[in-house]
Every structure is written in structure tokens, then in C-alpha cells.
Structure 1
């Protein structure tokens, strides 16, 4: 893919992410995206032939990183290192893809009616892998006997809230936006909360 084509696609996806996050899928029109991106509507259709395909591309910008984020849990045998890397990565996704994260959250809250089947299937497969790994660590004595599903839900909620409820968090912290230090501090705190709260032990 040429650099110009990639740059144009990235611009359209970025603007579309903000439009979908602000107005929702149904209320967002291609003409509004084109206007916000300051490009002709025809250019949007040139790169994305329909609103559905553009919406899919927006979802991919956050769901693909989310799917890849669990790789440490799947591949590493040390739960302390795996959970540390997972939480740090999840927060980085909230930092780097705030609008797409909101689009994904809105999609889930509305019943995932427009979520492509392949993305839904991959996310379900990922969740089952994580649940099984948490249960295995508990059986091995590397973690307290905690409900694995609820541990997963807690990590999701704690990390994704920095994107999905960004306005509220910035308002409480009296900032226009969070900086890198805020995300590092959040990662350190949440990691310690999970590790100490669930009795996670290192096998290294």
C-alpha cells in the first residue's frame, strides 16, 4: 500500500471514529465524515465503498489491538509478568484509540447488532482462553481461587474506562487530557491491585 493511500485511509478512519463515537452508527453519515475530514465525499467512498465497511475498519482499529493484547496471558507461564503486560497494553489501547474504544463500547452496550460475526467470534475465543488460563493458575497455586470471569471483567472495566469515560476522568483530575505519566501510574496501580488482591504469585 502506498504511503499516500495509507495516510488518507488513516485520516478517514480517525475522523470516522470520532463521528461514530459522538453520534452513533445510525446517525453518522458519510457526508458528515467527509466534511469533518475536509475531503470530498467521493474520496471516502473511494477508500471505503460503504458505511458498513468504514465502520468495520473503525472497529478493527481497536479490536485487533485488544485481541493481540492477551498474547502475554496466552503465551507466558509467569502470571505476574503476563498480567502486568496485559494491563499495561490495555491501558495503552485506551490512550491511543480513545474514539474507537468508545465506538466499540457503544456497539457492545447496544447489543452488538452491527458487530461483524468474525470479530465477535474472535473476542469470544479470546475470553474463553483467558478464563481457562486464570483457572489454571488458580489450580497451580499461582493465584487465589477467584472467579476467573469476574477477574477478566474487572480488568476490562478498569482499563477501558480511561477511554470510554475519558471526559469524567479528566474532569475529576482537572485536566484537558491525560498524559503518559497518568497512564503509567494507572498501569502500576491496577497491576498491583490485581496481583495483591488476587494473590498472584510469580513462578519465575
Structure 2
């Protein structure tokens, strides 16, 4: 679930913290820059583990800060595929069951990856919930996947999305802006749903997976 990733970065230390130990100042700056951030194709950065090498520090003309090239290792949340994790159900929707680890919320179990047969009661559209219709010799039993329940799932896939800022869209050549006319995109375009930079796709369509209460009782 957690891995150590070797990284290299140039860290800028402002002059008002020169009285501190260099390692402590660099560690604080690295945590400010990376902790709780997603690095593309790497994972969710948690905290600095250690600093393995410090190269020479330089002060450039016009800038009183020091610049140091640092080799370090960072603790990163990046589960491997097929790893079994335990989280809590955050909420349910038509997209499936959304799971949180407490520090990471972008986990989705799509409907086709739930224990089958699964359905959503029509009466629960306001507060949607998925239900596993469990067949026994005595008939079918509805097992609800309620919010806040602990759930065991297997990591089936991961999706990284590059959310780096991009420049403004090019204006259409056949529709030049008139004097005083706004060039901002329409409200429906600027209000698009923000994509998560890192998403895990899970499955519980196997024996032993799903709500812990299903298998403990």
C-alpha cells in the first residue's frame, strides 16, 4: 500500500531560516511542497522519509535564498494491482460504491464489480444505496452497503489524470470578440466537474470481499 520513492529536487531556502539546520529546513520545504499531493504516475505523497544526499548550495544574484539539489525518499500511497485493502463506504451513486481510506477518497467500485446480483432500490434515489441479493436455501436476503460500513476490496485498476494547468483555449477565428465582450467561457463550460488526479478502481466480486460484517457473522 505504501512505497518508498526516490526523488530529486532543487529546494529553495529563504534567508530568514538560515539560522536553522539545513536538513531541517529542507525537510520542512519538501513536506510543504509534496505532502498530500499526487505526483503523476507515482501516487499520493504522504511524508518525507529521509534525505539521502545534499549537493552544494548556491545563492544566485538578485536572490538571497540558497538553492540546494536534494536526493531524498518520500513515503507514497500507491497500492499494487490485486492488493487487498480495507476502507469505509463514503457514499453510493449510480457510478457504484465510493470508498475512502480516511486520507484518500478517490476509490470507486463500479456496479459490475460488486457482489452479484446487485441493485439499487428505487425508493432510495434521494439517499442511494447498493444492495447484494444473497441467495440461500431459505430464500434471498438483501445485504445493504450502507455509508460508513467497513469494506474489503481488491485493487483492479488505477487511473492517473494529468491535471496540470493549461493555457486558455484558442479563440475561434470566425468569431472575433467584440469590444466590451467577455472572452470568459460559458458558465456550463467553466463549471465542469474537476477530475481527480489519481483514482483507484476496486472490485468485491469475489468470496471474502465486501462488507466485513458479511463475513464476520
TM > 0.5 fold call = no
Identify the structure with the greater helix proportion: 1
TM-score bin, normalised by smaller chain: under 0.3
Which of these two proteins has the greater Rg computed from alpha carbons?
2
**Greater RCO, 1 or 2 (C-alpha within 8 Å, sep 6+):** 1
Larger strand proportion, structure 1 or 2? 2
TM (norm. structure 2) is 0.25
TM-score (normalised: structure 1): 0.26
